[in-house]
Amino acid sequence: MTVKYFLRTFGCRVNQCETDELRAQLAAKGCLPAVSLAEADLCLVNTCAVTRDADREALKFLRRVTRENPQARLVVTGCLVERAASSVRQIAPRASLIENDRKKALCEILELPHLKPQPVERDRARAFLKIQDGCDGSCSYCVVPLVRPRLKCLAAETAERKVEGFVAEGVCEIVLCGIRLGRYRDGATDLVGLLKRLILLPGTFRLRLSSLEIGEASDDLALLIASSKGKICPHLHLPLQSGSDVVLRRMNRPYTASDFANRVEALHRRIPSLAIFTDIIVGFPAETDSEFQEGLDFARGLGLRGLHVFSYSLRDGTRAASMPDQIPPRVIHERLKAWRELDHSLRQTHAQEAMGQEREIVLLKTGSKALTEDFLTVRLEGVSAPGLQRIRLQAANLACRDEKIPV
Ligand code: SF4
């Protein structure tokens, strides 16, 4: 009998890539996606543990599964299994727990019957390819090295075959993901070397890089992006976390604010239109009002295009968890507001400066929105065909007319 599965993912791009792999494994065994949780025979939850909220959300969802479909076979995987298996067991004592390293063997572990393979259900326009996993860093707030400590990279040849496979399916944007993408290495091939190989593959597609550490955003990388004729999106996500040197030291981040600014300036010298986004942690332990303000002023002057703002989340087992002067939620909330205002104004500027200019877009899942190479989300007037297309951006609210200029 065909197994119907319900799959829920929490967390980062890497976890989402791993969910795509789980989906592919299930499809290869003839399993079909269930329309709802209630009709599923198998419920898979791929958890995240990066923040307290991530823990809470995953555990809340597990409670919902046990309440709404107690008959389903429940499988829990992801970082929460690595970090807090006992919390999972308390809610779902009968669940099968699968650690990150064993995700690849899902179907063997579950001893699923082998039925006629099904096509894999996923976004046809954009795909995510995990080329690196693990972090051995020592940022004082971060649990990732505790749950994914081993650095692993996809062989360059395998990455080439995967990209070819995506392109053959009609995917036109492939996002390369990793926990420490800049640490990619396969023998003598580093990230820049891999990109050089991938952009030579035939077909109409472009590559985008997910998050990179500032020290990994090298001049060589910028030169390659600049000379790639649009094959690599001119968009980088470089986590800053704080713009105050004192806070950066407490976070144990391996750069100062001026190192960060100098690198951003060097990248912009090579590609003036490079769209750089960043992550900010708000309310790190002992962050004073003046350190918060210093960080905000610093970020404002960097020429960034947008921020991903997170409130600091205390994680047991990290050094920051035992630091004195944890910041009260009320103060974090106030500071978050200021950071979000800055984010909004940076994105507005980015959008306004792009008006009247041409961009190459890829359709998003909804079909009515698309993504530009420099990470603007645009709303399309009318229906657009799949594939990469050039359009002219038309209005400051990012609504735009689809001109269907073939690439
Ligand atoms: S670099 Fe730092 S923040 Fe990023 S995953 Fe590694 S330890 Fe965590």
Pocket test for ligand 1, best of 132, 140, 142 (most atoms within 8 A of CB): 142
CA–centroid distance, residue 317 to ligand 1 (Å): 14
> What residue owns the CA closest to ligand 1's atom 1?
137
CB of 181 closer than 6 A to ligand 1? no
- pLDDT recorded at residue 242: 98
Q: What percent of the chain has pLDDT over 90?
A: 78
Per DSSP, the three-state class of 215 is helix
CA–centroid distance, residue 59 to ligand 1 (Å): 24
Q: Are 141 and 42 within one domain?
A: no
Ligand 1 atom with least separation from CA of 241: 3
CB of 346 closer than 6 A to ligand 1? no
Dump pLDDT digits (tens) for 7-63. 999 988 888 889 988 999 999 999 999 999 999 999 999 998 888 888 899 999 999
Q: CATH number, domain at 24?
A: 3.40.50.12160
Whether 84 maps to a domain, the answer reads yes
Q: With 0-12 CB in 10 A as exposed, 13-18 as middle and 19+ as buried, what is 289?
A: exposed
Q: Are 26 and 81 within one domain?
A: yes
Q: Are 214 and 139 within one domain?
A: yes
Q: Are 135 and 189 within one domain?
A: yes
CB of 72 closer than 6 A to ligand 1? no
Per DSSP, the three-state class of 153 is strand
Whether 351 maps to a domain, the answer reads no
Of 215, 233, 251, the residue at which a domain comes to its end is: 233
Ligand 1 atom with least separation from CA of 143: 8
Number of domains in the chain: 3
Q: Are 184 and 213 within one domain?
A: yes
Domain that holds residue 15: 4-110
CA–centroid distance, residue 135 to ligand 1 (Å): 6
Of 54, 83, 110, the residue at which a domain comes to its end is: 110
Q: Are 103 and 153 within one domain?
A: no
Q: How many other β-carbons are positioned within 10 Å of the β-carbon of residue 63?
A: 11
CA–centroid distance, residue 184 to ligand 1 (Å): 15
Q: Are 86 and 128 within one domain?
A: no
Of 233, 257, 277, the residue at which a domain comes to its end is: 233
Distance CA 345, CA 329 (A): 24
Whether 80 maps to a domain, the answer reads yes
Dump pLDDT digits (tens) for 233-243. 999 999 999 99
Pocket test for ligand 1, best of 136, 144, 312 (most atoms within 8 A of CB): 144
Whether 291 maps to a domain, the answer reads no
Q: With 0-12 CB in 10 A as exposed, 13-18 as middle and 19+ as buried, what is 385?
A: exposed
Average pLDDT, the chain: 92
Question: b/e string for 123-160 if b means 16 or more Cβ within 10 A?
Answer: eebbbbbbbbbbbeeebbbbbbbbbbeebebbebeebb
Q: Are 187 and 97 within one domain?
A: no
Dump pLDDT digits (tens) for 329-383. 999 999 999 999 999 999 999 999 999 999 999 988 777 889 999 999 998 887 6
- pLDDT recorded at residue 383: 63
Whether 314 maps to a domain, the answer reads no
Question: b/e string for 174-189 if b means 16 or more Cβ within 10 A?
Answer: bbbbbbbbbbbebeeb
Confidence of residue 118 (pLDDT cuts 50, 70, 90): confident
CB of 145 closer than 6 A to ligand 1? yes
CA–centroid distance, residue 99 to ligand 1 (Å): 20
CB of 172 closer than 6 A to ligand 1? no
Tell me if 118 sits within 8 A of 30, measured CB to CB.
Answer: yes
Dump pLDDT digits (tens) for 141-157. 999 999 898 999 999 99
Q: Are 162 and 83 within one domain?
A: no
Contacts of residue 406, Cβ cutoff 8 Å, sequence gap at least 6: 389, 390
Q: Are 78 and 101 within one domain?
A: yes
CB of 139 closer than 6 A to ligand 1? yes
Per DSSP, the three-state class of 68 is helix
Whether 27 maps to a domain, the answer reads yes
Whether 93 maps to a domain, the answer reads yes
Q: With 0-12 CB in 10 A as exposed, 13-18 as middle and 19+ as buried, what is 30?
A: middle
Q: Are 144 and 223 within one domain?
A: yes
CB of 230 closer than 6 A to ligand 1? no
CB of 144 closer than 6 A to ligand 1? yes
CB of 387 closer than 6 A to ligand 1? no
Amino acid residing at 219: D
Q: Are 67 and 17 within one domain?
A: yes
Q: CATH number, domain at 217?
A: 3.30.750.210
Whether 174 maps to a domain, the answer reads yes
